Chain A
Amino acid sequence: MPFPAKSPLLFPVRLKGSKILVLDETALPFEEKYIEVSSLKQALWVLEQMKTRSLGQVFLFFYSCLLFAGSKPFETLAEKFKEKRPTFDFFSLAGILNRADSFTKDTRKSIELFAAEFDEARKKRAEYLSRKLKNKSRILTICNVNGELIYLYYALRQKNKEVFFYVSETRPYLQGSRLTFWELNRENIPCYLICDSQAARLMKEGKVNAVITGADRASLRGGIINKTGTYALAVLARYFNIPFFALIQYPLDIDITSVKIEQRPGREVFMYLERQISCPAFYPAFDIIEGRYITEAVKLGLKL
C-alpha cells in the first residue's frame, strides 16, 4: 500500500556519521531546523529542553546508546535519560536494544531494524484503524503522533472513506498547532485547529465521531499516560458516547496510576507568549487515563 507521507516528524531524529540530527520541534512550524548532537551532555540537554519528544526521544536514546554509552548494558544511560523525563520508560527501550543486540550483535543494525519494523507497524496499524473507522470520520486528536495520522488518512482514502481532523492546540507547547496541524496541512489533509477547551462544544454539536491520541506509556491492565488534556478528552468522549482510541506501544504490566507524572517548570506555561510573565503556575506534563475511558488501545505489532 502506498503511503506518500513526507512529514519530517515520521523520523524526527536521525543518525549522520558520528552525530545525531534532532529536528527542533520547538522551532516548528516557523523554522525546520536540526540540532547536531555530538555528546551525551548535548543529548540530555535536547531531551530536557523538549526539543524532541515522543518517537524522537526513542531514537535519541537509541542513537545515544550507539554513540555515547561506552559499554553495555544500556540501563545506565536509561537512568540518565529518566532523570530528564521521568514519566517516559527508557528502561524498556534499553531492554529492546539489549534483546535486538543479542541476535544482530551490532547496535547500529539493531536500531535500523527497529526503525524499519516500527514504520511498517505504524502503517499496519493505520490500515487496521481505517477498517474500524466509518466513512465521514471526524476525528479529534491532541498533541502529535509523529505522522501516523497521515498514514491513517491515506489508508482511509484508499477505502474511499472521507475524513477530516480536529486538532486540539495542546497548550502550552502547542504540539497540536505547531506539529500536527502543520504536518496535516503539508499533505493537504482536511483539518481544523481548535483551542483545547472547544472540545466539549464540538462533541455536543455532534461534530466529532472519534477521538484518537497517542500514548507515552501504556499498561497491559488498561490505561495510558499521555499529554495533559488527554484525560479531559477521554472523559468527555465517554460522556458523549464517542469512541476513544489510544495508539500504544510496549504496554507493560504496571499500575498506570502509580507512574510518576513529570511536573515541568511553571514558567513553561508562558513560553509561547511574547512577554515574560511573573506568576506561580502549574504544569503537569501528562495525564493518567484509566482503561475504562478507552474504547480500544490499538497496539503496534512489533516483534522486537
Chain B
Amino acid sequence: MKKVSNAVLIWGPVSGEGVEYLKLQAKQVVICENRPYLLGLIHNKPLLEKQGIRVVYCTDNTIGHLFYQKAVREIVLFCRRENGIIKGVSGSLYVWLLAKIHNLPIKIFREAEICWQEIKDKDAGSLGGRPVIGRGSVEPAEYEVLET
C-alpha cells in the first residue's frame, strides 16, 4: 500500500505546461483514473512517469478520502476556458466542488488535446474496453462547467 501525503492531485488530460509545473512543484502526484475514459491511466500516467515524476494512482472515488485525511495540498485541473467559462472533462465538477468544500487551492492549466476516437470507454458501462453491463449508463457530459 502506497502512502499519500502532502501530494498534488491532478484531474483532466495533462498538458506540457502542466508537466513543467508538476516537475517543479510536486514531490508526489496523485493520478486519478478519470473515468469513464481512463485518461489517468492512458494519458497522464505514462506522460508523468516518462518525466520521472513520482506518481500514485487511485480511483476517482478515493478523492474524498484523501481530502478528508488532509493528504493532498493542492489540486491541478487541466481544462479549457471558453468566453470566461471554465470547462472540464467529465468528473471535473466532482473534484472542483470537493476541493472548494475542503478549502484546497486549485491551479488551472490548459488541457492537452485528446484523440477521442481512440478512447474505448465512453461511459460507466465498460472498463478498459470491456463491457461491465449492457445498456443503462448515463452518458457523461461533453464538458462540465466549473465557473462562470
Contacts and interface: CB of A to CB of B under 8 A. Distances in A.
B59 A171 contact: yes
A87 to B, nearest CB: 13
B106 interface: no
Given A169-B124, A196-B59, A282-B56, A239 B97 contact: yes
Given A232-B63, A273-B127, A198 B94 contact: yes
A202 B138 contact: yes
A263 interface: yes
Contacts, number: 163
A199 B94 contact: yes
B61 interface: yes
Nearest to A231: B64
B136 A236 contact: no
B61 A275 contact: no
A232 B64 contact: yes
Looking at chain A, what size class is its interface with the partner chain?
A: 35 or more
A282 B1 contact: yes
Contact of A193 (B125, B130, B144): B125
Interface residues of B, number: 50
Interface string B1-29: 11110000000000000000000000000
Contacts of B60: 171, 195-197
Nearest to A273: B128
A229 interface: yes
- Chain B contact residues, majority secondary structure: mixed
Interface in B92-128: 93-98, 101, 123-125, 127-128
A219 interface: no
B53 interface: no
- Chain A contact residues, majority secondary structure: mixed
B136 A281 contact: no
A269 B62 CA distance: 11
A272 B128 contact: yes
B65 interface: yes
B138 A194 contact: yes
Given A171-B35, A194-B124, A274-B129, A231 B68 contact: yes
A45 interface: no
Given A174-B132, A231-B68, A281 B97 contact: no
A132 interface: no
Contacts of A288: 68
A192 B125 CA distance: 10
B86 interface: no
Interface in A82-116: none
B51 interface: no
B47 interface: no
Contacts of B128: 272-275
A287 B68 contact: yes
A287 B97 contact: no
B33 interface: yes
Interface in B56-92: 56-66, 68, 90-91
B65 A197 contact: no
Interface string A241-269: 00000000000000000000001111001
Given A269-B57, A283-B58, A287-B68, A181 B2 contact: no
A277 interface: yes
B138 A192 contact: yes
Interface of A: 29, 142, 166, 168-172, 174, 177-178, 181-182, 185, 191-202, 204, 228-229, 231-233, 235-236, 239, 263-266, 269, 272-275, 277, 279-284, 287-288
